[in-house]
Chains A and B, each alone.
Chain A
Amino acid sequence: MSLDKATVRRIATLARIEVPDADLGTVAEQLSGIMGWIEQLKEVNTDNVAPMSGGTDLKLPWRKDEVTDGDKVDQVLANAPDGHDGFFTVPKVVE
């Protein structure tokens, strides 16, 4: 399985990681190496095997509908790189 530059650019955009054009080739090569090694899974017969999707088969616990959290704007915003008046901020989004 070999990944081309265009594929790397597409997944890097999906993952929101800027990859300079000059690096696309190297990254494509590295990822292709890893994906090539992963290809061996194709050998395994998994017909009629139910996928294991989590780490546990414990029953999902439910909690009561009670307000037990919130009302801590200062703590929630304490680490914000650019908080303003109780809000987080981002570069202006045009819709």
Chain B
Amino acid sequence: MSYILKGETGDWEVVIGLEVHAQVISKAKLFSGASADFGAGPNEHVSFIDAGMPGMLPVINERCVEQAVRTGLGLKAQINKRSVFARKNYFYADLPQGYQISQYDQPIVGEGTLVLDLADGSTRAIGIERLHLEQDAGKSIHDMHGTKSFIDLNRAGVALMEIVSKPDLRSPEEVGAYLKKMRSILRYLGTCDGNMEEGSMRCDANVSVRPVGATELRTRCEIKNVNSVRFVMQAVEYEARRHVDVYESGGKIDQETRLYDSNKGETRTMRSKEMAHDYRYFPDPDLQPLEFDDAFVESIRKTLPELPDDKKARFISAYGLSAYDADVLVSERENGEFFEVVAKGRDAKQAANWVNTNLFAVLNKKGLSIAESPVSAANLGRLLDLIADNTISGRQAKELFEAMVETGKDADVLVSELGLKQMTDTSAIEAAVDQVLAANTEKVEQFRAGKEQVLGWFVGQVMKATQGKANPATCSDLLRKKLAS
């Protein structure tokens, strides 16, 4: 299902590479002991190191190293046991040292892979070029004063993983799938919370186009800092179209950095067009190379959780789920865990159906995460048991589920409170059947004359007479028997 841009001169394809900046989950910053948490007052989470005070020196946070290695392993990537921190030199208001400590030609993680799960159920492997550790910058606030920008350094020095893909993506849809999958993997690993709106995961997209069949790469433009998956997809779509239009009208694309304006739905050149960057990278003389051994890597590998791809494969093979159901259930680690509690010892397809359809509908409506679900996995499982042993009917199950959502009470408690038990006493159902048949001789005649549909009407009447507590199958069986006699 390829994404083609139609032009007057022919068909074009889009080539996209993504750079994801993922904030590492850690208590303290990469090179200082100040807190990495969001939400403090201006400059509260700032040490003298983060403020670039004279004589201050960096010392690396071991947790950030572990998290980068863990992420590398999750991306099935090459782990480099020796990497080098370099200074990227440039002046900016929110960069207190005048350089960012980053990694340049020797990153901590090398090539890896990320598998896309596409809407049609197919998958595609996208290459990861590298992952490196670096410091975040601070924040400039431009709307607090007429002639000044205000600088808050709380983010300055927080650890980021910059994860760079190969230019393997070919459509906005793939871009969306890539970001969702990346977020899912990072969350499974517990290395980044993946929240794009809060900025803990940010994305730059490198976009170029070329005629279908061409193999060379054309000039790319970098779209910086787009803050939702949807906006990245829109920005890529807009940018690709822009390139095609420029080429087809005989123009040429300049390599540049662009911003996406989500209100207008278009990208534009960054207004403060800086002079050509020359970052003058060199190894940071304050930090020797970062080195660790195989044992360190293996100790992290041992603690890796089952990742989405493996979990999906297992859900399909062990539970017989469809690829679609499995995708939905593995997208978040907690979803899969919830499902497995519900499915344990039960009909797994029925369990998947209840979780994916009924439960997620409720959670979406209420804006709750699965961790906040008013119905616990154990309780949903109990509901399935009650269906399986004929205690409640399918219709009653829906009613029970709604009550569980509203009250948060246990399934069994609600069954008795609401009087939802199915009638198991056959004689009582038989009495009701007899009553209904006696009162409707005309319909009995119709049935006996061959009008089979009347049976359903009789079942309905019996259910009504028993306030819905009779098992419909039992009713139907009894009716057939009586009508035949």
Q: Do A and B touch, yes or no (CB under 8 Å, in the complex)?
A: yes
Interface residues of A (CB under 8 A from B): 13-14, 16, 53-73, 75-77, 82, 84-95
Known: A14-B280, A70-B44. A84 touches B150 (CB 8 A): yes
Query: Would you list which residues of chain B between 274 and 314 have a CB under 8 Å from chain A?
Result: 275, 278, 280, 282-283, 285, 287-291
Give the residue name and chain of the A residue nearest to B91 (CB).
A16
Q: Are B59 and A65 in contact (CB under 8 A)?
A: no
Q: Give the residue of A13, A66, A82, A95 whose beta carbon is less than 8 angstroms from that of B142.
A: A95
A87 to B2, CA, bound (A): 50
How near does chain B come to A42, taking the closest CB pair, in angstroms? 20
Specify which chain B residues have a CB less than 8 angstroms from the CB of A62 in the assembled complex: 59-62, 65
Is B3 part of the contact surface with A, judged by Cβ < 8 Å? no
What does the 1/0 interface line of B19-52 toward A look like (CB < 8 Å)?
0000000111000111100000111111111110
Q: How many residues of B contact A (CB 8 A)?
A: 56
Smallest CB-CB separation from A62: which chain B residue?
B62
Chain B residues, CB < 8 A from A95: 142, 259, 270-272
Provide the residues of chain A in CB contact with B84, threshold 8 Å. 53
Minimum CB distance partner of B141 in chain A: A87
Chain A CB within 8 A of B330 CB: no
CA separation between A67 and B154, bound complex, in Å?
A: 13
| Given A63-B60, A70-B34, A55 contacting B45 (CB threshold 8 A) | no
Question: Given A16-B91, A65-B62, are A87 and B28 also a contact pair (CB < 8 Å)?
Answer: no
Are A89 and B62 neighbours in the complex by a CB distance under 8 Å? no
- Find chain A residues with CB under 8 A from B43 CB: 73, 76-77, 86-88
Q: Tell me whether A55 and B149 are in contact (CB under 8 A).
A: no
Could you tell me if B61 and A54 are in contact, using CB atoms closer than 8 angstroms? no
Contacts A91-B147, A92-B142 given; does A63 touch B62 at CB 8 Å:
yes
Contact of A54 among B49, B283, B290 (CB under 8 A): B283
Mostly, the A contact residues are loop
A-B contacts besides A60-B289, A71-B44, A92-B148, 16 pairs, CB < 8 Å? A54-B283, A54-B287, A59-B291, A63-B60, A67-B27, A67-B33, A72-B46, A73-B43, A73-B44, A76-B48, A86-B43, A87-B141, A90-B149, A91-B148, A93-B140, A93-B142
Closest to A88 in B: B151
> What CA separation (Å) do A64 and B62 show in the bound complex?
6
- A63 contacts B59, CB within 8 Å? yes
- B163: interface (CB < 8 Å): no
Which residues of chain A have C-beta atoms less than 8 A from B147's C-beta? 91-92
CB atoms of B42 and A86 under 8 A apart? yes
**CB within 8 Å of A: which of B116-173?**
140-142, 144-153
Q: Specify which chain B residues have a CB less than 8 angstroms from the CB of A82 in the assembled complex.
A: 148
**Are A54's CB and B149's CB within 8 A?**
no
Q: With an 8 A cutoff between CB atoms, is B316 at the interface?
A: no
Q: A69-B47, A95-B270 are contacts. A60–B62 as well, Cβ < 8 Å? A: no
Option from B41, B63, B149 in Cβ contact (under 8 Å) with A92: B149
**Is A73 in contact with B65, judged by CB distance below 8 angstroms?**
no
Please give, as numbers and ranges, the residues of chain B lying within 8 Å of A16 by CB-CB distance: 91
Residue of B35, B60, B65, B291 touching A70 (CB-CB under 8 A): B35
Chain B nearest CB, measured from A56 CB (Å): 7
B414 contacts partner chain A, Cβ-Cβ < 8 Å:
no
Return chain B residues, CB-CB under 8 Å to A87.
42-43, 141, 144, 150-152
Task: Give the complex CA separation of A59 and B59 in angstroms.
Answer: 12
Which residues from A are CB-within-8-Å of B34? 67, 69-70
Is B437 part of the binding interface, using a Cβ–Cβ cutoff of 8 Å? Answer: no
